[in-house]
Amino acid sequence: MPAFDLPPAELESHRPDVTEPADFDAFWKRTLDEAEDAGDAVVSAEPVDSGLRLTETWDVTFRGFAGDPVRAWFSRPARATAPLPAVVEFAGYGRGRGLPHERLTWVNAGYAHLLMDNRGQGDQYGCGGDTPDPHAGAPGGPGPAVRGLLDPRDYHYRRLITDAVRAVDAVRALPGVDASRVAAVGNSQGGGLALAVAGLVPDLAAVLVTAPFLCGIRRALDLTDLPPYGEISAYLAVHRGAEEAAHRTLGHVEGISFARRAHAPAHFGVGLRDTVCPPSGTYAAFNRYAELSGDRPSKILHAYPYNGHEGGDAVHVRRQLGWAREVLGS
């Protein structure tokens, strides 16, 4: 697939206007306050035998949106004694937390690692998930991208983003974690969640996002019919006249809006031939990053001109590890 979005020079200066809902900040403050009122983040942390000798793992349950139980894997290098910086990782669209031995990169690099389960997902890729979504009954299609699409209070991503913020609260309460050095990490949907966390958690230490979903949503809907955006387009093709309500809901989860409010140092990655999450969304979030926070955090973006949604793959991970070592230590 050849490059299909803006030319590189235009991407580098791409700073689109974003029409934010008037209640954007109040909406998220109210949502997060309600989640915190449900009680302490961590419900339980039970050690598990993962079969790995060099990694210790716990099966964690924490309180997410509305106090709902959310599952996660928490892992640390075996025999580590000092408090470690922590990486909270968010999985991609349709994935669950899978099995504890699947994602070992950050643990092997010397970090504590929390991998959050995606509520109501996990049935499309990987090895499944363990967190139901008890609030998924609002009007909308079967896919997560369209569940509750007609009202921001009912939308799936209101719940998932709240879970992601509470995952940071949870990892800070777990043993052996340096609560002052917590990073949010993710690709695709996970990148969108990490970016939302950066905009909602003012003392996050770092954020690493690749090909983030939910950035530049309106433009993405015009550029691609591939899922997850294609699921939204398909829903609106049937529910004619629902566009205004849908766009109002999507405005409450727009990644550019979260990026504008971020404070943490940021590391971005993007493939310029990405037809799943068009690169203009990543550049828009990067170019407008932290513009409302009053800070000037360091930020860097690595672009891969001949790659699609996979971006820089292992090459990019190697760059992430080097950058994280500089920002977080290990």
Catalytic (active site) residue 239:
no
Report the half-sphere exposure of 98 (CA within 13 A, side-chain side). Answer: 19
Please measure the distance between the N-terminal and C-terminal CA atoms of the chain and give it in whole angstroms: 39
Does the annotation count 330 as an active-site position? no
Residue 222 is classified by DSSP as H
Q: How far apart are CA 12 and CA 257, in angstroms?
A: 18
Catalytic residue among 50, 59, 151, 309: 309
d(CA 296, CA 317): 24
How far from 54 is each of 45, 112, 177, CA to CA, in Å? 19, 13, 18
Residue 295 annotated in active site: no
Residue in 257, 274, 280, 316 annotated catalytic? 274
Of residues 75, 188, 257, 280, which has the active-site annotation? 188
| Helices and strands in the chain: count of H runs, count of E runs | 11, 9
Strand partners for 116: 72, 90
Q: Report the side by side order of strands in the sheet with 177-187.
A: 42-48, 55-63, 69-77, 112-116, 84-90, 177-187, 206-210, 266-271, 299-304
Q: Give φ, ψ of 254 to 5 degrees.
A: -65, 125
Could you tell me which residues come within 8 angstroms of residue 256 by beta carbon, excluding any fewer than 6 positions away? Answer: 16, 18, 215, 216, 281, 284, 285, 288
What is the C-alpha to C-alpha distance for residues 296 and 285, in angstroms, rounded to an integer?
15
How far is 131 from 121, CA to CA, in rounded Å?
Answer: 8
Active-site residue list: 188, 274, 309
